[in-house]
Amino acid sequence: MSGNIMKVVPVIMAGGAGTRLWPLSREEKPKQFHNLSGDGTLLEQTIQRLLPLKPESCVIVTARRYEDASYAELERIGMKGTVLSEPRPRNTAAAVLYAAIYLSKTYGDCIMIVLPADHYIRNPVEFAAVLKRVVSEAGKGNLATIGIKPLYPETGYGYIKAVPGKGNAFAVDSFVEKPDLETAISYLAERTYYWNSGIYAWKTSVIIDKFRQLLPRHFEAFAPLGALGAGEVGSSLGDAWTAKERIFDSIESISIDYGIMEKAHERVVVPGDFGWGDLGSWNSIDEILHADGEGNRSPSGDLAIFVGARNCSVFAETKRIAVVGLSNVVVVQSGNDILVMEKNASQRVREVVDIVRDLDSGKQS
């Protein structure tokens, strides 16, 4: 790009192990590398949705063990990019600062779009249009985010309260935590609250300065990367990796919302309505699958059989599964593990993961 048009670089957060989607998503192969919809892996679909912005490259922030798999996704799509490996998970604030430093070393000041790898977008054309508005707001020096117009009183999402106004972007009044049902109903009625999408855009210079002001311990911890070249900041080898291990060992785990967005000024929210879903649980996966006449869903083809079943979902990796006479049940088979779950109990899958870890560690000791 030439002139005063600022380069735009997407940064995809793909580090989570996705334990609530066990047994399909596990530490060896988390959800972002699975094809849950039949239309490509979650990471692949995330990259594809960015193509209308014509980025020259993108950055994926993930764990070191997923570095090769992430590069394979980029190569399959034909997108140039860099995978920034984290020595250990330290939440989204660390990932954002890590990527911002790398981008500032590589491109000087640019606009970085931050987005998770595990979202579902039903209308990618509208999503691209909203993303361009967010980029425009970031170019003005704002910390810009997408707020999803709430469809129902959801208690599993955080919310963004906007200052009423006109146009495509509004000043942010506050970020609010996940509400109880009564509060969520009041948010829906008030029409100034949006679901927090976790999608952001800002100039690298602006976000790095916000870390200096609002998260000085993170800013100081990452200072050694300032002495390295872009290639070293992006490396998972040698002295550069050792320096990053020290950095990630020394900082606490803080989200970008809690550490920066809840406290900063110059925050704007751009409303979006493009069929958004946060694929964080088996219950939420229903949003991306076609249902038959009885509300049953599966991406597994002939491996899923429904007889007298209603509102059931089957995810089968290698085994045939038949669901007979049941309602509101999810069955997932991956490897030697099978999950059978009432749909409304999806938040309890983490408890199963904890039990499985204890059992497996007992076998090894």
Q: Where in the chain is the domain with CATH 3.90.550.10?
A: 8-280
Contact 320, 333 (CB under 8 A): no
Q: What's residue 365's pLDDT?
A: 57
DSSP 301-329: GGGEEEES-BS-EEEESSS-EEEES-BSE
Among residues 299, 293, 291, 296, the alpha carbon closest in space to that of 309 is found at 296
The pLDDT, as a whole number, for residue 39 is: 77
Structure tokens of 172?
Answer: 């942010």
Residues of the chain with pLDDT below 50 are 1-3
> What pLDDT is recorded for position 364?
65
Q: Are 41 and 121 in contact (CB under 8 A)?
A: no
Note if the bond before 23 is cis, omega within 30 degrees. yes
- Per-residue pLDDT of 148-194, as tens digits, reads 999 888 888 899 999 988 888 999 999 998 888 999 999 999 889 99
Q: Between the CA of residue 7 and those of 56, 99, 106, 210, 219, what are the distances in Å?
A: 9, 15, 11, 20, 24
Instruction: Please name the helix (run of DSSP H) or strand (run of DSSP E) that holds residue 135, with its range, or none.
Output: helix 124-139
pLDDT score of 3: 44
pLDDT tens track for 29-62:
888 888 777 778 889 999 999 999 899 899 999 9
The domain made up of 8-280 has a fold known as Spore Coat Polysaccharide Biosynthesis Protein SpsA; Chain A (3.90.550)
Token couple for 155: 């208690």
Q: Label the pairing between strands 193-203 and 159-162.
A: antiparallel
195 SS3 class: strand
Please work out, in degrees rounded to the nearest 5, the angle formed at the alpha carbon of residue 336 by the alpha carbons of 333 and 340: 40
